[in-house]
């Protein structure tokens, strides 16, 4: 299989095609998603909640995200593998951003990184690009700024759509090969996509971005909590797993497992 590269994503936009991204945090899900044909896999800092059980993206560290990145990179034969720079690992200086991104490329086997940034921190992103690392700029709602933004709130409504556009343009100018927009009105996302040369990815950003991304536990119905309006549930993994575990428990209790064929 031929590896998906940044130029394939650029070509998708140029030709009016769409590409796909799912999060993944471990070897086996990455294998499944890659074999199913997902174009890009994201080791999101959403792992803070989905894997580690924290209530926000803020606590997860580079040391915690690195082994997940290594596992996904090892599994992905076709997908382009992108990892989030976690909160606290790139804000101090462009040098700190480069140092962290290099670790994810060297030790994590990533093909690129994603950075939550805006007009004021574009220079950090630019330094990573200068190091030869493909970068996705994340704008709109940025979960690492949850407290500054006053919670999980749509960004870029009405007059503030200009802010999202300014951020996206600044990050494109800084060298981002792609811009990800989270929780912005479809109209704003469309305007940003049209203003940019580089491809865009959306989550809760309507249908007019070049690509779409979802957290896999949301998309496949493993998440038992309340999911956002922008999530479409493609399976009920939680139901399937609960039923299967129930059968296992019953089998063991009733001495139906292990049977003859499972016994040496």
* Residues 72-111 within binding reach of ligand KIV (CB under 6 A): 84
Does position 39 interact with ligand KIV (CB under 6 A)? The reply is no
Whether the CB-CB separation of 100 and 91 falls below 8 Å is answered with no
CA dist 125 → 31, 64, 73, 137, 263 (Å): 30, 22, 22, 8, 57
Does position 38 interact with ligand KIV (CB under 6 A)? The reply is no
Does position 168 interact with ligand KIV (CB under 6 A)? The reply is no
Does position 23 interact with ligand KIV (CB under 6 A)? The reply is yes
Percentages helix, strand, coil for the chain, rounded to the nearest 5? 40, 15, 45
Give the CB-side neighbour count of residue 31, counting CA atoms within 13 A.
6
Residue from 30, 51, 127, 213 touching ligand KIV (CB under 6 A): that is: 213
Tokens of 73: 């990179």
> Does the active-site annotation cover 92?
no
168 interacts with, out of Na ion, ligand KIV, none, CB within 5 to 8 A per kind: none
Residue nearest ligand KIV, Cβ-based: 44
Q: For residues 82 and 98, which CB has a smaller minimum distance to Na ion in the complex?
A: 82
CB of residue 169 vs ligand KIV: minimum separation in angstroms?
20
Residue from 45, 118, 167, 172 touching ligand KIV (CB under 6 A): that is: 45
Stretch in the footprint of Na ion (CB under 5 A) among 36-44, 90-98, 122-130, 219-227: 36-44
DSSP 2: P
Enumerate residues 6+ apart whose C-beta is below 8 A from 109: 69, 70, 73, 74, 81
CA distance linking residue 138 with residue 141, whole number of Å = 8
By CB under 6 A, the count of residues binding ligand KIV is 11
Q: What residues are labeled active site?
A: 182
Q: Using CB under 6 A, list all residues that contact ligand KIV.
A: 23, 42, 44-46, 84, 180, 182, 203, 213, 215
């Amino acid at each position: 299989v031929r590896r998906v590269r940044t130029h394939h994503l650029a070509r998708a936009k140029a030709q009016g095609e769409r590409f796909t991204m799912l999060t993944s945090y471990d070897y086996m899900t990455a294998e499944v998603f890659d074999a199913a044909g997902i174009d890009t896999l994201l080791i999101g800092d959403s792992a803070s909640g989905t894997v580690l059980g924290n209530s926000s993206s803020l606590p997860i560290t580079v040391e915690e995200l690195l082994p997940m990145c290594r596992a996904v990179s090892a599994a992905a034969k076709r997908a382009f593998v992108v990892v989030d720079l976690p909160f606290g690992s790139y804000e101090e200086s462009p040098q700190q951003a480069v140092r962290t991104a290099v670790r994810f490329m060297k030790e994590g086997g990533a093909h690129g990184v994603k950075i939550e940034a805006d007009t004021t921190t574009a220079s950090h992103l630019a330094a990573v690009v200068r190091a030869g690392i493909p970068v996705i700029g994340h704008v709109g709602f940025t979960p690492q700024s949850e407290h500054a933004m006053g919670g999980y709130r749509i960004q870029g409504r009405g007059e503030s759509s200009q802010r999202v556009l300014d951020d996206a343009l600044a990050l494109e100018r800084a060298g981002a090969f792609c811009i990800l927009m989270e929780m912005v009105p479809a109209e704003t996302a469309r305007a940003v996509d049209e203003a940019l040369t580089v491809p865009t990815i959306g989550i809760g950003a309507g249908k007019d971005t070049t690509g779409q991304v979802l957290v896999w536990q949301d998309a496949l119905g493993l998440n038992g909590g309340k999911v956002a309006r922008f999530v479409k549930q493609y399976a009920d993994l939680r139901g399937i797993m609960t039923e299967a575990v129930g059968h296992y428990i019953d089998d063991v209790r009733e001495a139906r497992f292990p049977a003859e064929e499972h016994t040496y």
